Structure 1
Amino acid sequence: MTCGIRMHRRTALSSLLALGAAGAGFGPAAAQGGKSALNLAMVAEPPTLDIQSTPADLVCIIMQHVYEPLFTFDAKAALVPMLAEAMPKISADGKLYTITLRKGVMLHSGRELNADDVVASLKRWMDVSPRGKSVAVQVADLAAKGPLTVDITLKNAYAPLLSQLAMASGMAAIMAKESLAQPLREYVGTGPYKFKERKPDQYVLLTRFDGYAARKEAASGYGGKRVAAVEELRFVPVPNANTRVEGALAGQFHYADLLPIEALPRLEKAGGKVVPIMTPSFGFPYLVFNTKEGSLAHQPVRKAVQTALGEGEMLAAGFGDTRFFVAEGNHFPKGTPFYSTAGITAYNERDAKKAKSQAEQAGYKGEPVRILTSRQYDFHYNMALIMAEQLKRAGFKAELNVVEWATLLQRRADPKLWDIYITHSGLFPEPMLSPPQLGDGAPGWWNSPAKQEALAALNQEPNPAKRGALWGRVQQVVYDEVPYIQVGKFASLSARAPALQGYTPYTYPFFWNTSLKS
């Protein structure tokens, strides 16, 4: 899901040289003026720094250091307060949430955060964010009820509200109200780091915010106390995966994100020069179907495609090492509250003969099935190659359209340009957090009475114990109507320098509470 503009190897290396010329250096603590700095190799150039406006992982990874939400998730995926003083007071009917803010939280502009900032920020989020728009249809009123109190009034009970407000990607980020604009030109938040400088195709530079008001609870996941122990964070776009590997091995980066799985043996044999990191249960790849126009707008044709696909073979092509993927049709892992086997007999069928018969009965007449993908993520592209072959064996006219990731993000907004696109998501504790196709209006444009009925039952049930079974009904509808296909689960590979201390693997890597050993 991370977005970016692809650079060639030469461009990536020139950006490293530019960092050195700026004084960043590549040693454990070398930086301009002797400041401690982390050089962090990211998969791409961020398309924007507006964390509200996009679900792109890369934007979240960078700007979660600048902005904070009202609530977040701890190490056990439980909701905990961040800018809120405590968890909200919720009315008996589940329609009124009263949120009290922490006192003394300072914005990067130097003034204290207040309820007007929160209301203005959330209203903007509900205007510009795909996730925010799905929440907006549930909201009857949003208002400041005092300097540090905000009321959110819902039309109906909506169980996922706090999880939506806590999600880091496409964050309901709280910003200084005077900085709000469309597009954003100033990045004024409350986080432990503040925005300093962006040089396109070279780096995004964040510096420590000395006025940061940390929580007092012990750090846990994204929650609790955040400390900016390192003075500068430099996020360097390095789209070539092999360049990220070589840079990590050479000590040029303190952290290198999303490395190819086949690099693991080299990292393990590097003699302690680098520390490989596996992030388990990182996420799931998924295939989004165009339900609005084109060859797959007809549901029986999508069912035939579903029958043709062998997700296990796709995962093997994408990740290779069986330690890094699990082929299973349940959306949520066994042992979690939303685990369900509903519909999974349709997973991983890989039955070309049956699929061809289904397609013919559905009226498929050889129209192109345009698969939109990118090489930004090797596993996306490798899975697309296998998928195209599986579809061809079932009689489909599969066409692979390989574009830059930024181009894919543009094209997926136009239903005339594609039939399937490949992306991935983190694995989150609330079903409504991902994929966005469960909401309204996301590319794919899935909408049906069965979807609305199943989701209404899930989202209006306040009892967590009952919501698990209700998710099973939603999962069944997904398998029946095929708006998207969850391919399986995967772990990610990244690497850190031995000098980087305190790093804990999470879906969206963060670098508060990390330090550099000299």
Structure 2
Amino acid sequence: MNSFLKLMSAAILAGASLPAIAHAQSHGGAIDVATIGEPPTLDPMTSTADLVGIITQHMFETLYTFDGNWAVAPLLAADLPEISEDGLTYTIALRDGVTFHDGSAMTSEDVVASLERWLRIASRGLQTAEVVESVAAIDDLTVEITLSTPYAPLLSLLSLNNSAAIVIPAEIAGNDVMEDYIGTGPYQLGERRPDQFIQLTRFEDYASREEDASGYGGGRAQYLDEIRFVPVPDANTRIEGAVAGQFDYVDSIPVEAYDRIESGQTEPVMLAPFGWPVFVMNTAEGVMADLTTRKAVQAGLAPHDMLLAAFGSEEFFAAEAPMYPDSYVWHTEAGIEPYNPSGDMERAASLLAESEYDGSPVRILTSRQYEFHYTMAQVAEAYLEAAGFDVQLDVVEWATLTQRRTDPALWDIYITHSPFLPEPSLTGIMSDTSPGWWVSDAKHAALGAFNAEADPDRRVELWSAVQEVIYEEVPAFKVGNFNAVAAQSSNLEGMNPAPWPYFWNAYLAE
């Protein structure tokens, strides 16, 4: 790995931003970005899929975002909010002069309507709605959020780019189904041809922040005329496209192709550590609604073998149980005893015998667009069948998976992954309404105490109790930690490696 790639890898580990490579920044040109497939929607409120967030973060913006150190930074808000001494009132000043793609000016009326839509239809909004008493416009450029109880994750939830609290015109926000994709972002929707491309074009009247760029925060320059997101569902086709230099950026490449890409026409980009693969359990109905059955799955899976099959070398993964690596403040080993890198087949069989499992097929929902998902599903199938389960792999397109997982009648386990998020309460299973539908008194007690605590050090301590409940009630199975690989053209500059790649501030070197 050359020094440039080592620097990028280290920057991701540290959560820092990188300076742009020293070339003259130039306006113009179009880039092609290969993605893992066609997004199920372009409404980021209604989806937690990374693919949706990657594309739509260029079109829509939130009140806050994350800077290069994963701290909350203002975006459409003028500054961080004023928070009352009791932690119940957030007064948010809005930036003046922000314009929507339709030419109208953003005001507090739009923000209130947008936040009300988010609280009504987004999974993370529904999670937040439980503590929100009101959202009100104080004047044209001031919004006030009133809570029923202190809620520490609020600003992080308002910052994320999926299930996102985007700001859209009030007349659009009144509808649960979005038909017009009008935001405030640096790029706007030009043309969408399903299964061919999504074309975004420069929004000439974009109002950028004036601060230096840092992570997703700060100034957003629009050097590129167009960004075309091209769905390439087959992983091998993405690899070949990267090697041939067919695309300017290729997302989600199997890590075993790293050396091959390095010898081709684009440069590999390593994101380390990137995140964690996870098997989400359907706790609402079906065979996984029984806790003992979930514990049998937990005991029967062999994380190391699954990761080895998926990533090929320990250079790219670590079979570790804590929900966060030891480089994160949230790292704790509380409650991880049930995690066994090699699995425990004897315990799995014993738990299965005690459970309510009736021999019905365990339907594992997965996709080959993320090839490592499918590979882990195959290994899981073998181990679970050895433990006594009947297993059925349902392999579908990623867009289909994100639709099916919303119906508890259609699956028992689905496979996904997540970057290591800066706030644990952003994790999907923390929401009672997120697919999996994990609801319990123990969860609410531990998570409620964690979310209500404002002191950062105390929150770190309270996170341990939340992790203990996750391992005790098994709403999901964390497989381990993994690195991710992408590919980037050598003449695409101004890019910082990021879990959700963004192309404002990027430009084509002359």
TM-score of the aligned structures, taking structure 1 as reference length = 0.91
Q: Specify the code of the residue in structure 1 equivalent to 2:178.
A: L
CA distance in 2, matches of 1:255, 1:53: 26
- CA-to-aligned-CA distance 1:136-173 (integer Å, 9 cap, x gap): 12110001000100000011111000000001112111
Aligned position for 2:202? 208
Q: Specify the code of the residue in structure 2 equivalent to 1:262.
A: E
- CA-to-aligned-CA distance 1:231-284 (integer Å, 9 cap, x gap): 1111111111222222222222111111112211211222xx211111122221
Between 1:504-513 and 1:196-205, the stretch displaced more is 196-205
The one of 370, 380, 396 aligned to 2:373 = 380
- Name segments (4+ residues, structure 1) moved above 6 Å: none
CA distance in 1, matches of 2:86, 2:484: 41
Q: CA deviation at 1:35?
A: 4.9
CA distance in 2, matches of 1:408, 1:245: 23
Is 1:269 the counterpart of 2:288? The answer is: no
Aligned position for 1:132? 125
Aligned position for 1:239? 233
Q: CA deviation at 1:368?
A: 2.4
CA distance in 1, matches of 2:203, 2:404: 38
Is 1:41 the counterpart of 2:34? The answer is: yes
- CA-to-aligned-CA distance 1:277-302 (integer Å, 9 cap, x gap): 11122221111112122222211121
| Contact 2:234–2:368 under 8 Å retained in 1 | no
- CA-to-aligned-CA distance 1:303-352 (integer Å, 9 cap, x gap): 12111111111111111132221211000121422111011111125111
Structure 2 portions without partners, runs of 5+: 1-26
Aligned position for 2:439? 447
The one of 495, 501, 504 aligned to 2:493 = 501
CA distance in 1, matches of 2:356, 2:501: 47
Aligned position for 2:17? none
The one of 410, 418, 422 aligned to 1:425 = 418
CA 1:454–1:186 in structure 2 vs 1: closer, same or farther (change >3 Å)?
same
Q: CA deviation at 1:365?
A: 4.4
Q: Specify the code of the residue in structure 1 equivalent to 2:249.
A: Y
Q: Specify the code of the residue in structure 1 equivalent to 2:219.
A: K
Aligned position for 2:474? 482
CA distance in 1, matches of 2:97, 2:400: 43
Is 1:465 the counterpart of 2:457? The answer is: yes
CA 1:363–1:233 in structure 2 vs 1: closer, same or farther (change >3 Å)?
closer
Aligned position for 1:253? 247
Q: Specify the code of the residue in structure 2 equivalent to 1:351.
A: D
CA distance in 2, matches of 1:415, 1:108: 37
| Contact 2:37–2:398 under 8 Å retained in 1 | no
CA distance in 2, matches of 1:497, 1:471: 40
Q: Secondary structure at the match of 2:135?
A: strand
| Contact 2:38–2:399 under 8 Å retained in 1 | no
Aligned position for 1:194? 188
Number of aligned residue pairs: give it.
482
| Contact 1:261–1:321 under 8 Å retained in 2 | no
| Contact 1:333–1:339 under 8 Å retained in 2 | yes
CA 1:64–1:234 in structure 2 vs 1: closer, same or farther (change >3 Å)?
same
Between 1:346-355 and 1:410-419, the stretch displaced more is 410-419
Q: Secondary structure at the match of 2:393?
A: strand
| Contact 1:126–1:133 under 8 Å retained in 2 | yes
Q: Secondary structure at the match of 1:383?
A: helix
The one of 222, 238, 245 aligned to 2:216 = 222
Is 1:113 the counterpart of 2:106? The answer is: yes
CA distance in 2, matches of 1:152, 1:57: 27
TM-score of the aligned structures, taking structure 2 as reference length = 0.92
| Contact 2:28–2:223 under 8 Å retained in 1 | no
CA distance in 1, matches of 2:352, 2:281: 16
Is 1:101 the counterpart of 2:94? The answer is: yes
Q: Write the mapping of 1:353-432 to structure 2, written as runs, cut at 5 A.
A: 353-432=346-425
RMSD of aligned alpha carbons: 1.4
CA 1:123–1:358 in structure 2 vs 1: closer, same or farther (change >3 Å)?
same
Q: Specify the code of the residue in structure 1 equivalent to 2:52.
A: V
Between 1:375-384 and 1:246-255, the stretch displaced more is 246-255
CA distance in 2, matches of 1:307, 1:253: 42
CA distance in 1, matches of 2:402, 2:99: 35
- CA-to-aligned-CA distance 1:81-110 (integer Å, 9 cap, x gap): 111111000011111000001111122222
| Contact 1:337–1:465 under 8 Å retained in 2 | no
Q: Secondary structure at the match of 2:334?
A: coil
Aligned position for 1:18? none
Q: CA deviation at 1:480?
A: 0.6
CA distance in 1, matches of 2:327, 2:59: 34
- CA-to-aligned-CA distance 1:461-509 (integer Å, 9 cap, x gap): 0111100111110100111111111111111111011110111111100
CA distance in 1, matches of 2:481, 2:166: 28
Q: Secondary structure at the match of 2:46?
A: coil
Q: Specify the code of the residue in structure 1 equivalent to 2:444.
A: Q
Is 1:292 the counterpart of 2:289? The answer is: no
Between 1:481-490 and 1:318-327, the stretch displaced more is 318-327
Q: Secondary structure at the match of 1:416?
A: helix
CA distance in 1, matches of 2:142, 2:178: 26
